[in-house]
Amino acid sequence: MQSGSNDPFELEAMTALRRDLHAHPELGFEEVRTSAIVAEKLSEAGIEVHRGLGKTGIVGTLKIGTGTRRIALRADMDALAMPELADRLYKSETPNTMHACGHDGHTVMLLAAARHLARTRNFSGTVQFIFQPAEEGRGGAKAMLEQGFLQLFPVDAVYGLHNMPGLATNEMAVVVGPQLASSDSWTVTFKGIGTHGAKPHLGRDAITAAGHFLAAIHTIVARVVDPLQPAVISACALDAGDFKALNVIPDTVRIGGTARAYTPEVRDQLEKEIGIVAQGIAATFGVEADYNFLRRIPPVVNHPDATQRALHAAAAATGRSVVTDFPPSTAGDDFAFFSAEVPGAYVWLGNGPAVDGALHHNSRYDFNDEAIPTGARFWTTLVEQELPA
């Protein structure tokens, strides 16, 4: 579809594409169909395409003029392993797979901007359009970096965008400093001596130890971490015993959960303190504790200079005041791996009201297509302001 002056971002075609991607969601590192469509649309616009970085990742390169500054714009492409329960014409056709976080919209907004920039050529410099796989906990950003993203496509700054229900579709939030928390996983296995439920004194009760541990870990945030430093520790999985043998105290209890922080120092503290509590509880009850802390995603912290540039672009793109006091989220995003290497800014774009309370990762969530022009305009404006012709 050719865009006219009244439709610079091919909105009819891009809206149809967004809904097509929604109907055909793909999990992390499985975005074969999605990445093929992205590659085709970029090539069609005359943008150089590099396929297969991070398995299913796509990088589109657009170099115009003699400008030496190089920036990267990132959109994620993957869906979540969950069912879509809302009825809509473009409902997911893939069982237990759903675009419940708006990555279908993120992909289309960046694609619309890339095609527009390739047509208008109103900048001087280099833009790397990152279409990243596997943001949802599978390590897509890290995989792209480990396979040489910065060596193949060196950049001076990187930008990310995520939709946010609750803000209007022509509204954006841009805030310096922490935006998203680190996202780490931990497990503790208490190993006791199993025994008859009627004779607990003959064993070492891992169940009781686990119960005390579950209560005690919540004192870490309340009594050990500085109360002015946000942090979260949550137990999210428990495996012990058998409901067909309710007269048996089991030998082992396995507990797992998540830890979140906004600073490296608090992140280190959470890792250390969970282990201290686990070993202390184990000693109290005469059992053993095997503790493992898996560092998954660092916090997303917006760089002052990149944030200021994004703020100017957001104000110009929306024509309204930009929210600059938006609270950080305790969710995580592996955009953090990119912004840990070069100055970065992660911004929020309104997704309109949360219809029926459907926020991110909800089985009835849907990206709001009315946000497509705002997102595409933001990306375009950012490039044209950062890399003036």
Contacts of 76 (CB under 8 A, 6+ apart): 103, 106, 107, 132, 133, 135, 136, 140
- C-alpha radius of gyration, the chain, whole number: 24
Catalytic position from the list 30, 78, 84, 184: 78
DSSP character string of 145-165: HHTTHHHHS--SEEEEEEEET
Q: Which helix (H) or strand (E) holds 70?
A: strand 70-76
Q: How far apart, in whole angstroms, are the C-alpha atoms of residue 336 and residue 198?
A: 52
Pair of tokens at residue 41: 């649309």
Residue with tokens 């870990």: 217
Q: How many CB atoms lie within 10 A of CB 235?
A: 16
Residues 110, 73 contacting (CB under 8 angstroms):
yes
78 among known catalytic residues: yes
Measured at the alpha carbon of residue 26, what is the angle toward residues 20 and 31, in degrees to the nearest 5? 100
Tokens (6 digits) for 132? 């990243």
Among the listed residues 135, 171, 184, 205, the single catalytic one is 135
Strands 172-173 and 57-64: unpaired
268 flagged as catalytic: no
Q: Give the chain's length.
A: 389
Q: Quick one: which H or E segment has residue 274?
A: helix 264-285
* Active site residues per annotation: 78, 135
